Amino acid sequence: RTTLNATRRQRQMCIRDRVPSGQEKTVPKRPVIIEAPRSEELNLYDTSMASFKEGKYEDAMKGFQALIKKYPNSDRADNAQFWIGECYMGIKQYEKAILAYQEVIKQYPEGNKVPSAMLRQAIAFLEIKDKTSTRLLLKKIINKYPNSSEAQIAKKKLEALK
């Protein structure tokens, strides 16, 4: 222990000797960067998204479902529910996708994913050849969210259906 303290003093003296007298305070200090630990919730969301992007829809869906179950009041819950719908779209289970998107609309009516969920729901209805429901949803998006990018897409899709 004594040797360790002596070694520290030697290092400090060497550092002091390099700084000209009177300029000790002008030597800039390195900023200390402290990273907050990533939350389990964020890890779960990111892992699920990575699975989705890799086309592992079943794994992604399980992760998103686990996030919603464990963190029902999370800011990411509506996004997780939306991505469950996207997983069903990826495996071409359009009816289940429609129901998953409906959960976004019903459970998170003020969430940022509602217009996207409605648009994707309309596309899922189109995939199962239900043009009536597709038209109704597209018109609803245009009326309810007229300035959104989803409304612009809905207008184009509605024109294409005529």
CB 159 within 8 A of CB 129: no
CB atoms under 10 Å from CB of 29, counted, come to: 5
Lowest mean pLDDT among 91-95, 100-104, 110-114: 110-114
DSSP classification of residue 111: S
pLDDT tens digits along 19-35:
455 555 555 566 665 55
For position 20, what pLDDT does the model report? 53
DSSP of the chain, one letter per residue? -HHHHHHHHHHHHHHHHHSPTT-GGGSPPPPP--PPPPPHHHHHHHHHHHHHHTT-HHHHHHHHHHHHHH-TT-TTHHHHHHHHHHHHHHTT-HHHHHHHHHHHHHH-TTSTTHHHHHHHHHHHHHHTT-HHHHHHHHHHHHHHSTTSHHHHHHHHHHHHH-
For position 21, what pLDDT does the model report? 54
**Please, which pLDDT band fits residue 41 given cuts at 50, 70 and 90?**
very high
